[in-house]
């Protein structure tokens, strides 16, 4: 009667539906609640680190038979899911570590500006859950001519990592933002904001004098033809001509208290600030001036009043100078 009473008080061993283990072996206590003194007895090999497997309830009972554990509540459990705990390194983490390893090295820029291509698929892997080590570079090399890299990692303190191939090869290319033509443009075209887009290109493909994002480009004219997708170079930019050759222009002479204008014909084109020659259509004389606006030339002279009389009013040059009346 005492044994029967003790059996009624002691909890009934109960099979678990799913378990997670850290060790390489699965013990009775991992599979069965209330296993008592048999809890530490190993009965199965655990799955690989970071993976999951299943064991049927009949296999569990067969493993318990040698230990005379016959009375186990199986409920409706047909299989037990067994997971092996591990610390998983994802492909994104591995790629990030490769970029960090080369950032600022071999003439490369920051990690955010680097583009990585790995020759074989990067798959996640797991190490022991107790391992706190990070991916440490064991060996690396980089060829700046071909952009090819070769790198190997290790994880200090992890036995599992020693069985995993942690060598990666591929290419690392530094990208920089550059301004490129959104459409084909002809010589003399004035650039508008819709003519430009910003793209990331390999540094080696970007000319040294390429315009950078934020640099003033809009409003300039093209010095030569440009295909769509080509980087905009500073050498390609010129100020747009505000005066064109053979164009009718306004000749302006200005001095303190004096503003005179007349019509002229430009003998050459020019951008704002350029010195050009023109013909005064009234006097038929050739004059020089500075382009000051669209179709406008400001006359240049070291003797303003002579220019006023001779260049702008030819008849004034023939009139005698005023006398005092004596």
Pick the last residue of a domain from 64, 84, 104: 84
| Confidence band, pLDDT 50/70/90 cuts, at residue 135 | very high
- Residue listed under structure tokens 């591990």: 86
**pLDDT of 310:** 47
* 6 within a domain of the structure (yes/no): no
Is 80 in contact with 19 (CB distance < 8 Å)?
Answer: yes
Task: Based on the fold, state whether residues 33 and 99 are members of the same structural domain.
Answer: no
Q: What is the DSSP string of 125-176?
A: EEEETT-----EEEEEEEETTTTEEEEEEE-TT-SGGGGS--EEEEEEEEEE
What pLDDT is recorded for position 309?
A: 46
The predicted-structure confidence for 81-118, as pLDDT tens digits, reads as follows 999 999 999 999 999 999 999 999 999 999 999 999 99
Name the burial class of residue 80, with classes exposed (0-12), middle (13-18) and buried (19+) by CB atoms within 10 angstroms of its CB. Answer: buried
152 is a domain residue: yes
Q: Please say if the pLDDT value at position 304 is more than 50.
A: no
Number of domains within the chain: 4
In the predicted model, is pLDDT for residue 326 greater than 50? no
Domain that holds residue 202: 177-238
Residues 284 and 247 reside in one and the same domain = yes
pLDDT at residue 9, as a whole number: 63
Within a domain: 318 = no
Res. 47: pLDDT tops 80: yes
Residue 175 near residue 114, CB atoms below 8 Å: yes
Residue 3's pLDDT is: 57
Is the pLDDT reported for residue 308 higher than 60? no
| In contact, 265 and 271? CB cutoff 8 Å | no
Decide if 315 is inside a domain. no
pLDDT-based confidence at residue 306 (cuts at 50, 70, 90): very low
Rounded to 5 degrees, φ, ψ at 87 are -100, 115
Question: What CATH number does the domain containing 287 carry?
Answer: 2.30.30.760
305 pLDDT higher than 80:
no
Question: What is the reported pLDDT for 93?
Answer: 95
Asked which of 51, 84, 117 is the last residue of a domain, the reply is 84
Give the pLDDT score at 271: 82
Residue 203 within a domain: yes
Tokens of 310: 């001779």
Asked, for residue 94, whether it belongs to a domain, the answer is yes
Q: What is the pLDDT of residues 180-239, one digit of tens each?
A: 999 999 988 889 989 999 999 999 889 988 988 888 888 888 888 999 999 999 888 888
Question: Is residue 326 assigned to a domain?
Answer: no
Residue pair 192/214 in contact by the 8 Å Cβ criterion: no
| Residue that finishes a domain, picked among 52, 84, 116 | 84
Q: What is the mean pLDDT of residues 29-39?
A: 93
* Measured distance CA(308)–CA(299) in Å, rounded: 10
């Amino acid at each position: 009667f005492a044994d029967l009473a003790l059996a009624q008080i002691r909890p009934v061993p109960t099979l678990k539906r799913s378990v997670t283990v850290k060790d390489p072996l699965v013990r009775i206590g991992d599979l069965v609640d209330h296993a008592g003194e048999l809890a530490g007895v190993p009965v199965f090999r655990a799955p690989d680190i970071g993976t999951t497997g299943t064991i049927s309830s009949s296999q569990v009972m067969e493993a318990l038979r040698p230990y005379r554990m016959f009375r186990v509540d199986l409920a409706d459990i047909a299989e037990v899911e067994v997971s092996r705990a591990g610390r998983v390194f994802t492909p994104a983490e591995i790629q990030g570590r490769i970029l960090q390893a080369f950032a600022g090295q071999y003439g490369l820029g920051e990690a955010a500006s680097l583009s990585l291509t790995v020759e074989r698929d990067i798959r996640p892997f797991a190490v022991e859950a107790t391992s706190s080590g990070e991916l440490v570079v064991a060996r690396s090399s980089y060829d700046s001519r071909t952009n090819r890299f070769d790198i190997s990692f290790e994880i200090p303190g992890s036995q599992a990592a020693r069985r995993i191939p942690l060598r990666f090869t591929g290419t690392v290319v530094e990208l920089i933002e550059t301004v490129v033509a959104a459409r084909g443009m002809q010589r003399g075209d004035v650039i508008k904001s819709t003519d430009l887009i910003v793209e990331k290109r390999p540094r080696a493909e970007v000319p040294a004098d390429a315009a950078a994002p934020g640099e003033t480009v809009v409003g300039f004219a093209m010095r030569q033809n440009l295909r769509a997708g080509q980087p905009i170079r500073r050498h390609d930019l010129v100020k747009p001509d505000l005066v064109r050759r053979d164009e009718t222009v306004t000749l302006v002479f200005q001095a303190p208290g004096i503003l005179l204008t007349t019509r002229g014909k430009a003998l050459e084109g020019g951008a704002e600030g350029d010195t050009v020659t023109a013909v005064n259509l009234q006097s038929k004389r050739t004059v020089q001036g500075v382009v000051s606006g669209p179709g406008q030339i400001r006359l240049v002279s070291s003797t303003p009043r002579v220019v006023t009389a001779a260049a702008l009013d030819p008849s004034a040059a023939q009139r005698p100078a005023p006398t005092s009346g004596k």
